[in-house]
Amino acid sequence: GVDPWLDAEGEREAKNAAAYISSMEDANAIGGSGAIAAVYSSPFLRALQTAVPIARALGLLVRVEFGFCELLAQAWLQDEDPLPALRQRELRNLPFEAQLDHNYKTAVMPVYPEVIGKMIPGDANQRETAIHRHRRAMHAVLAAAGSGSVLIVGHGSTHDFVSAALCPEEHDSVHHTGHFCVPHCAITEFVEEPDGWHMRSFGRTPLDLGFIDVNEVIWLLKLGDPVVRCNALESLGQLGRGGDVRAVRPVASCLKDKKASVRRAAMQALRAIADGGDAVALEAAREAVRRCDCKLRRAALEVLGVADRPLALLGLGLSGVGRQRRTRPTPLGVALAATVAAAVGTAVVLVCLRFGRGRR
């Protein structure tokens, strides 16, 4: 339907998100300028169901703000206007009505449709109406919050349009609606500095939420935004620390990323895997790093508790002058290779030694 309820899995994710946000609020890790003063939600049921346990954990009521509703995209996200049914809904009839702020009046009422057909990333004209709507809603809720922080529960498009409204210079088109959607219960954070709003993180899905799909996180590594890739590596490191070997190889592959920040995040993820001490994951990480041809290979193996052993090339069938001939290893050559291997602890020895002239 146009406004479905969360299924059992969605309800579990919402409870995990509430526990995570509550713990981070206690640690003063969410919100750049003070404790969370208010929780706002889109009027759609799935957003309300997510917002209610979060607000309850924070000791707050949910304010229903139409300015943060789903993108109104005719013939794409909706076949008909959902606003009349949302406006006519009696909030007091909802099972969680006690957790809603019935005195709050929405600051912004959008108009359907905001776009017809699928939204094209980077199309400024097509995106203008939705961005303007979110900008107005943000100005209203921030003015009401005073010096506190606000938490908004919306949709995948909410991350996009709030980012475009607050800090457009930091919001890459790769994250535009129509091309990208954040994972379920992802968190985007903004902090207000003297020179304006800045993005602290975008679409982050912390491991603490307890429902990370490792394949979904691996997919995030393919995106162009280094911040997203670093966040994904942090999650993969924790998954590997817990023994999930699927997270190991993608981490190792990022040791040769072009971005220094991503390479550092990959090293930190390997440290997390090493700290976890899971034997299977640790050996998988060592093997993945050994296969990774990069400058950080030696340092990464040291992090994983093993030295980077050099490759000993003792001979490759060379004889005569200026010509390479096929040769067979002699007993002396094999014995010499074995002796050197035992002395230097080499991992691989290529044995093809022969003294004197080689045979064809």
Tell me the per-residue pLDDT of 86-141, one tens digit each, with 9 for 90 and over: 999 999 999 999 999 999 999 999 999 999 999 999 999 999 999 999 999 999 99
Co-location of 179 and 286 in the same domain:
no
Co-location of 98 and 200 in the same domain:
yes
Co-location of 21 and 121 in the same domain:
yes
Contact 315, 333 (CB under 8 A): yes
Co-location of 19 and 163 in the same domain:
yes
- Cα separation of 148 and 137, whole Å? 16
Would you state the pLDDT for residue 126?
A: 96
Would you say the C-alpha torsion 321, 326, 327, 329 has a positive or negative sign? positive
Would you state the pLDDT for residue 354?
A: 30
User: At 329, which amino acid appears?
Assistant: P
Would you state the pLDDT for residue 137?
A: 97
Query: Which are the contacts of 279, defined by CB distance < 8 A and separation ≥ 6?
Result: none
Co-location of 206 and 224 in the same domain:
no
- Is 265 a member of any domain? yes
Would you state the pLDDT for residue 210?
A: 56
The candidate with the shortest Cα–Cα distance to 142, out of 134, 171, 21, is 134
Buried b (16+ CB within 10 A) or exposed e, 206-239: bbebebbebeebbebbebebebbbbbbbbbbbbb
Residues of the chain with pLDDT under 50: 27, 31-33, 208, 309-360
Contact 275, 240 (CB under 8 A): no
DSSP symbols for 262-324: HHHHHHHHHHHHHHH--HHHHHHHHHHHHT--STTHHHHHHHTT---PPPEE---SB-SSS-B
The candidate with the shortest Cα–Cα distance to 284, out of 255, 325, 241, is 241
- Is 337 a member of any domain? no
Co-location of 90 and 237 in the same domain:
no
Q: How many domains does the chain have?
A: 2
Would you state the pLDDT for residue 47?
A: 96
> CATH number, domain at 309?
1.25.10.10
- Cα separation of 245 and 239, whole Å? 8
| Residue-range definition of the domain harbouring residue 89 | 8-210+342-354
- Is 318 a member of any domain? no
